[in-house]
Structure 1
Amino acid sequence: MPFTGSTENVLQQVNQFWAMLDDLSENDPAAYRKLIEKQMKERAEFSSPPVLHSCVRTQMLEPKTGLLYINICSWKCVPAPQDLSSPLSVCAGNLETGTDENQGWFAVLDLALNPAVLQESNADKTDINKVYVLALSFAQQQHGMRLSQEYNVVNCSPKSSPGDLHHRLGFQTQPNTSTQTETASQTPGALLRQISSLRSVKQDEVSTSQIISKPTEHIKKDLIQVISTAFVEPQKPEYQMEVKTDTVGVPCSMELTVELPKVRSMSECQLRVSKEDVLLEVDEVYYLLLDWPNTVNEDTASAIFNKKKRRLRLKVDVL
C-alpha cells in the first residue's frame, strides 16, 4: 500500500492502515493470515535469484578480438511488459573478461528478463531468436562492440556458476529470519515493517533495471534505449587460506582468514559455503568467491568474527 501526499496525509494513511491491520487480526484471523502469506509469497518471489536460461556465443571483432558469451537469465524481479507494444525491461550485469588456454581472450555479459518473456519466447523458435539478436544488439550499443552476425547457442559460458551470475547482476541474498508459520503470528506493527522492507527491496531491484525496446521484425539503429544507474564495484578483501593436515600429511580441514576493516559486525556479512567453493559478500563493500583446494563438508563450517581486529575466520572439514 503506497503512502503519498503531505506529511500529515501520510501519517493519517499510516494510522488508518495500522487500524485496519489491528481490526483484521482481532476480528478475522483467517483473512489476516491470508494477507501475511500473500506478502511473504510476494517477498519470496522478489528475493529469488536469477536463473540461467540459455547462453549465446559469438565472435567479437572490435575493440578486441575474442569470444563473447551472453548469458540469458530468468529473474522474477525484472518487470514483465504490460502489453506487446510496451518496452522490454532487462537487468544487465557487469561485463567480465578473462583468458583461457584453449580459446584465448573472452568476455561474459549477463542479461536477465522476466520469466514470462522467456516462457513465451520458448514456444516459438523465431521469438527466442529475436531475443538473442536483441541481446547482441544491446552488447554492441552498450559496450561499443562490433560483433559477428553469426552466433550459436551453447550449454554455458566461462564463469557461469550461480555465484558469478549473482555477483555480476548485483543480486544480494536476503537473510531468511523467519518461516511462514512464524510470520503468520506477527503483530500488525511487525507486518507493516515487513511490507515496508519489501517495498524497499523492490525499489532497489528496479533501480538496477535497464529498459530496451521490444524485439521487432527488423533490428533498427535506435532499437535500444538504456536507463541505468551507477554500480559500485565491491572490493576483494585480503585473505589467507590454509590447509590443515593430519600426522601423515592428509588434508583434514580448511581455514580461511579474511581481513574486513570496513565491517563492524558479523550481521553485515553474507556467507555461503558449498562443497566446491565459499562466497563472502558485504553489500557494496566486499566480495570474495574462492574455490576450495579440496572438497569440504559444508555442514561442518563454522565462522567467527573478531570485532576488535575486524577479521573473519572460517573453518571447515575436508571430506
Structure 2
Amino acid sequence: MRDGAEYFSPPEPYTCLRVSVQKPQLGMLYVNVCSWKRVPAPASPTQPVPVCGGKLESISQGQEIYNIVDVAFNPEVLHRAEKNSQEKEQIHLLALNFIQKQHKLHLSQHYTVMKAKLKGILQDMKHRLMSLHRPLSQDNSQFQFKPAQSLLQQISSLRIEEEESCIQLNEGQKDKEKVRPGLIEVISSTEIVPPQQPKHQMTVCSLSSDSVKKIKLCVELPEISSVSQCQLSISQDDIMLEVEQLYFLHLWFPERVKEDTCHATFNKKKHILTVTVTVL
C-alpha cells in the first residue's frame, strides 16, 4: 500500500526554465522541471539518471501565448543536485537536451531559471505528465517503469524510443576519466565559444504629457548589420536578447511592464538597438 501510494502520488513543481526555440521558430519555451516519485531513482550513484517527459503544448493565457513542456526526475536526484550548483546545472542541461531530442527542437544555448517554480496551472502540469505514464496493467503487483535506454550527445549520449518518453543518462569515457558519482559528463569548454554580453544602458523615464512611465534599453551591437539577426523576447519581469554565437543579454526590469507595448528600433549607422516598453 505504501509503494502504491508513492507510485500514484502526483508530480510536484521543482523549478521552471525559460529558453528560446530557434528551430522551428516557436518563440519562448517554458520547461517545468518536476519532482515525481513515480520516476525511479538510479540504482547506484554511478547508474544512469531516469527522466520522464510530457507532451509539448501551446498555451494561451490572456494576451500571452507561450509553449510549455514538463519533465520529471526522482526526488532523490533533485535533492542531491540541490547541494551542488554544478550538478543542478547539469540536471537543467539534461532536461533541455531531452526535450530537444524528444520533440526535435533546436534550443538556445542559454536558459533562464524563473523566479516561480511553475509556469501555467498546477493541475494542467499533473495531467500532462500523469496521462502519459499510467500503470502497465491493473493486476501488476510491481509497478513497472520502463525507461527507454538513451545516449545524450552533448553531455554524454541520447537515444529516444517512440514507445517511451523516458530516457537514461549514461556515463561517458569510463576507461580513462574518473567521473564523479551522480554527475553528468560536461562537454569541454573549448568546443563552444560563449557569446559576449554587449554594452547596454537601461533607464526609467516619464512622458511629459502624462504620468505614463516607460523603460528604455539601449544595447550596442557593433557586429550586427540588421535587426533580423536579433532574437528578442520579453515578459512582464525580464527581457532577453540573443544573437547566435555573438551576443547574449538577460536583464530584469526594475518594474513590471506591459509586454505588448514593446517597441524596438535598430540604428544601422551606430549599431544600437533601442527597446522601449510601458510600465504597468
TM-score scaled by length of structure 1: 0.45
Distance 2:93 2:10 in 1: 25
1:142 CA displacement:
1.5
Q: In the alignment, which of 90, 108, 113 is matched to residue 148 of structure 1?
A: 108
- The question of 1:225 aligning with 2:159 is answered yes
Contact 1:54–1:153, Cα closer than 8 Å, also in 2: yes
Q: Aligned pair in 2 of structure 1 residues 96, 142: CA closer, same or farther (>3 Å)?
A: same
Distance 2:66 2:149 in 1: 26
Match of 1:164 in 2: 124
**Partner deviation per Cα, 1:45-77 (whole Å, 9 max, x = no partner):** 112111111111111111123111111111111
Distance 1:71 1:173 in 2: 17
Distance 1:164 1:48 in 2: 15
1:217-296 to structure 2, matched below 5 A, reads 219-220=155-156, 223-229=157-163
Distance 2:91 2:39 in 1: 15
Q: Aligned pair in 2 of structure 1 residues 144, 126: CA closer, same or farther (>3 Å)?
A: same
Match of 1:44 in 2: 5
Superposed CA RMSD:
3.0
TM-score scaled by length of structure 2: 0.51
Distance 1:95 1:201 in 2: 30
**Partner deviation per Cα, 1:230-266 (whole Å, 9 max, x = no partner):** 79xxxxxxxxxxxxxxxxxxxxxxxxxxxxxxxxxxx
1:56-71 to structure 2, matched below 5 A, reads 56-71=17-32
**Partner deviation per Cα, 1:276-303 (whole Å, 9 max, x = no partner):** xxxxxxxxxxxxxxxxxxxxxxxxxxxx
Instruction: Look up the equivalent residue of 1:138 and give its one-letter code.
Output: F
Match of 1:139 in 2: 99
Match of 1:235 in 2: none
Match of 2:46 in 1: 85
Instruction: Look up the equivalent residue of 1:202 and give its one-letter code.
Output: F
Q: How many residues are aligned here?
A: 162
Richer in helix (by share):
1
Query: Identity of aligned pairs, percent?
Result: 33
Instruction: Look up the equivalent residue of 1:199 and give its one-letter code.
Output: N
Match of 1:55 in 2: 16
Q: Aligned pair in 2 of structure 1 residues 171, 101: CA closer, same or farther (>3 Å)?
A: closer
Distance 1:169 1:224 in 2: 21
1:156 CA displacement:
4.1
Q: Aligned pair in 2 of structure 1 residues 44, 141: CA closer, same or farther (>3 Å)?
A: same
SS of 1:53's equivalent in the other structure is: strand
Greater Cα shift, 164-173 or 113-122 = 164-173
**Partner deviation per Cα, 1:175-202 (whole Å, 9 max, x = no partner):** xxxxxxxxxxxxxxxxxxxxx9573571
Q: Which runs of 5 or more residues in structure 2 are unaligned? A: 166-280
SS of 2:13's equivalent in the other structure is: strand
Distance 2:11 2:84 in 1: 23
Distance 1:76 1:141 in 2: 24
1:97 CA displacement:
1.1
Distance 1:116 1:142 in 2: 24
Distance 2:54 2:139 in 1: 23
Q: Which runs of 5 or more residues in structure 1 are unaligned? A: 1-39, 175-195, 232-319
- The question of 1:113 aligning with 2:54 is answered no
**Partner deviation per Cα, 1:18-60 (whole Å, 9 max, x = no partner):** xxxxxxxxxxxxxxxxxxxxxx212111121111111111111
Distance 1:64 1:153 in 2: 21
Q: Aligned pair in 2 of structure 1 residues 127, 200: CA closer, same or farther (>3 Å)?
A: same
